[in-house]
Structure 1
Amino acid sequence: MVDPLTDPLTEVLFHLLVGVTLGALVGLEREQSESGGTFAGSRTFPLFALYGALVGAFFPRALPIALGLLVVPLTVAYAGKVWHEQDLGLTTLMAALLTAVLGATAMHSDSGAVTAIIVGGGVTVLLSVKERIHGFADQFDETERLATAKFILVALVVLPALPGRSLDVLYGLNPRFIWLMVVFVTGLGFVAYVLGRFLGPTRSIAVTGIIGGFVSSTATTVSMAEKATQNEGLHHVCAFAVVIASIVMFPRALIEVAVVNPRLLPRVAVPLGVMTLVGIVAAGALYWHTRTDETVQPDELRNPFRLRSALLFGAIFAVVLLVSESAHEWLGTSGIYATAFLSGLADVDAMTITLSKLAAEGTISTQVATTGIVIAATANTFLKAALAWVLGTYRLGRLVSLVLGVVVASGLVLVAV
């Protein structure tokens, strides 16, 4: 007796249902938003999916021809839409072609069906948030668009063109690896920046601190210190934002370790994870004592990617990498720790990536790498407290120092045992 769950016909029908359902989902969205107009809607899009699914299942070699033939009536319909409605938008036309492809993808295999579901869901969401996306795009001025274009340039054009090997003229450094880390670190801040702009100015102070921590925790600390100076009554909420931005540095470092040296992650995750948890609890206690009427308007986020800043980070990373290797060779473990502390005052990312790389190459032990990363994070945390004292008020500096001091102590205790 044939098991209905493994019957080939049942499997084909299931995949066919997936494809048609995705077509119906996109069609409903197009009709509800009235973007399809007289072009296509809740009935036509399932037919596009069915067309692609049947051709993909039974005539896979003819799929390119079938899609080409589909372009003909779509072009005629699009021309009529432009003529009658004066609408030049291509979104619905592209959605129709993509729906046919999704139908064929759903019929390809089980993994193809899963892929079609993921892509189809993403397409539906993308189509349904039209106004939000246009509003988000309108927030960018010319400077922001130029900075974004530069980021795409260095990530997709410059990176592949760099040599992917160690060069004697650069003292054994690998240019592509250096620039890859530049793209990676600036990319973390860039993603946080985009998220912050998407959320808009109404985001909470906690979200502001988190986003600020990924974009620039130092800039967030300076901003909050200035606000506390302008209004001393805001010292609690400003301290909360500084603490949140500071502890974001720890999971950010864990992300960097996971990318550069995944084997080091379990070791580093213990102290940095505990520091993060202690920081969250301490920040929660700080927020609990914040008066409900204490609010602070977050500053306008600036695109964190600047070509000069990217080049500067690349130079700092290269120097830190060379100095760390030399310090270890000349002074041993103490040289690594001294370099970690001094480097951490300026940039934790460079030292975190450097130690992760050295540990991956076997130049230093995982214990030394872990301790060095915690020392770098500790030095940078001390810097945040110092900025709160110097640029802010006495009460802000005291609160930030107390909370971050507890966080740092928890990490140092763990690496010392």
Structure 2
Amino acid sequence: MDFLNPSLNSEVIGVVVALGIGLLIGLERERRKGEGPGRSPAGLRTFAAASLAGAISVMIGGKGLLAVVTAGIMVLVAIAYLRSRSDDPGLTSETALILTVLLGGLATQRPVLAAGVAVILAILLAARAALHDFVHKVLSGDEVKDGLIFAAATLVVLPLLPDQPVGPFGALNPRAIWIIVILVMAIGAAGHVSTRLLGAKGGLAISGFASGFVSSTATIGAMGARARKAPELLGAAIAGATLSTVATIVQLFAVLAATSLPTLQSLLVPLLCAGAAATLYGVIFTVKGMRETGTAEFEQGRAFSLPSALLLALTLSGVLLLSASLREAFGEIGLVVSAAVAGLADTHSPAVAAASLAASGKVNSTDAVAPVLAALSTNTLSKIVVGWVSGGRSFALRLIPGLVLVIAAAWAGACLVSIS
């Protein structure tokens, strides 16, 4: 019984998927075909037939015959284009017809992939007006340039950089540092998009909190650059920078819970106090920022500042070198000193190290409190430096009290626990 033959069933499935692909794309093109002498030569039936031709050619003669059929379709498309009387010089329908032939051939071997690509193609074809309006009316020239810069930094420069320690004390990792540059640009772009979507009132605060889960230090650098560029957004930028610290506290909760629950219990009150202080300070500046920017209108411009991102990376490189030199000078004289030095660059790594020692029984969970808070304190110093460098004096003088309040609340919570 042939209908039970698996190979026959797969061929039937391939033909059915190919027909569906042709009908799907042809349906969209039929609606834009037009009428009269200027109409497009390809519509619903043509696309369906082209997709079936691709499928049948693969079944009969394999990839070689598919190439011949595709070449024939290309010749017919070229002739039809040259004879066309349409005022639209675009090649969208012609390119879609050639791709439909190839998708029909692909459907006989990988039907799921072919169907998925066909759906994406149909969406792109149907979204013509929206995409054109987005490019011409929504995006600015500077934003397009920024997109190209970001793509080059991510896809061209990053793969070429070595992923190994170099420089004095082996403290610098070029790939890791460049990732910081990319991260700052991405955060700046996220703030730019959020501001465009939500307005200058709340976009920076929301994007600052969300970006803080990636890097609070980088977020502060990006917010400082935004405040320097647009002083009327200073309050909103301060809110985003402060709320990024809330994300740092939340991340500490997560990594400590995954590493050592007793350590998290010992740090619960200090972290809650720090989180509450950061949230309160951030909310105050969010409200203040909304009032300050109530009459401000968003101006199209650059999505991020590449010089600010490079300056931030240079600053963090200096912090890493300082951290390595201090570690070399002091050695391993104590968990608190090493955690404080490591905290200049990152809070979570020394926190995990201290919690791991507690989990292995080498230290008590209460002994891990001071190293974690020391790392949080020195990381606050790094944030202050980055905030001053990226945002200038006006930004830093408003940000520093909030950062100091957060770390003071954490130490106060630790004191309360020790007293009780």
Alignment deviations for residues 241-291 of structure 1 (CA, whole Å, 9 cap, x no partner):
865665457669999x9xxxxx999559x99x99999899989999xx99x
1:74 Cα shift?
Answer: 1.4
Once residues 243 and 363 of structure 1 are traced to their aligned partners in structure 2, the CA distance between those partners, rounded to angstroms, is 31
Verify the 8 A CA contact 1:247 1:279 in the aligned structure 2.
Answer: no
Tell me the secondary structure at the aligned position of residue 325 of structure 1.
helix
Give distance in 2, aligned partners of 1:124 and 1:285: 45
Q: TM-score under structure 2 normalisation?
A: 0.62
Question: How big is the shift at 1:335?
Answer: 4.2
Identical-residue share of aligned pairs (%): 23
Correspondence for 1:135: 133
Q: 2:57 maps to what in 1?
A: 55
User: Number of aligned pairs?
Assistant: 373
Q: Structure 1: how far apart are the matches of 2:129 and 2:176? A: 39
Contact 1:264 1:366 in 2 (8 A): no
* CA distance in 2: counterparts of 1:245 and 1:175, whole angstroms: 26
The aligned amino acid for 1:322 is L
The C-alpha deviation readout for 1:130-159, integer Å capped at 9, x for no partner, is 233223323444444433333333333333
Q: Unaligned regions of 5+ residues in structure 2, if any?
A: 212-218, 359-367
1:147 aligned residue: 146
Counterpart contact for 1:57–1:107, Cα < 8 Å:
yes
- CA distance in structure 2 between the partners assigned to 1:78 and 1:253 by the alignment: 62
For residues 363 and 187 of structure 1, do their structure 2 counterparts lie closer, same or farther at Cα, with a shift above 3 Å needed? farther
What is the match of residue 97 of structure 1?
Answer: 98
The structure with the largest alpha-carbon Rg is: 2
Whether 1:71 aligns to 2:74 is yes
Unaligned residue ranges in structure 1 (runs of 5+):
229-237, 258-262, 344-350
* Residues 1:335 and 1:85: Cα distance change in structure 2 (over 3 Å): farther
Distance 1:21 1:218, change over 3 A: farther
Per-residue deviation, residues 370-403 of structure 1 (Å, max 9, x unmatched): 87886677668889999xxx969xxx99xx969x
CA RMSD of the aligned region, Å? 5.8
Cross-structure match for 2:31: 32
- Over 3 Å counting, the alpha-carbon distance change for 1:172 and 1:135 in structure 2 is same
For the pair 1:210 / 2:213, whether they are aligned, the reply is no
CA distance in 1, matches of 2:48, 2:247: 44
Structure 1 position 185, deviation (Å): 1.0
Tell me which amino acid in the other structure corresponds to 1:108.
Q
1:192 counterpart residue number: 190
Q: TM-score, normalised by structure 1?
A: 0.62
Structure 2 CA distance, aligned partners of 1:277 and 1:116?
A: 49
Distance 1:117 1:372 in 2: 55
Code of the residue aligned with 1:181 in structure 2: it is: I
- Opposite residue 118 of structure 1, the aligned amino acid is G
How far off its partner does 1:301 sit?
6.1
Matched residue SS, 2:302? coil
Instruction: Flag the 1:311–1:41 CA change in 2: closer, same or farther, 3 A.
Output: same
How far apart, in 2, do the equivalents of 1:200 and 1:177 lie? 31
Counterpart-to-counterpart distance in 1, 2:224 and 2:10: 56
Determine if contact 1:53/1:104 at 8 Å carries over to the other structure: yes
User: What is the match of residue 232 of structure 1?
Assistant: none
Matches within 5 A, 1:332-351: 332=332, 333-335=335-337, 337-339=339-341, 343=344, 351=345
Letter in 2 for 1:49: S
For residues 78 and 276 of structure 1, the distance between their equivalents in structure 2, rounded to whole angstroms, comes to 67
Shift of 1:104: 2.5
- The match for 1:46 is 48
What are the residue-to-residue correspondences of 1:235-274 with 2, within 5 Å? 243=239, 246-247=242-243
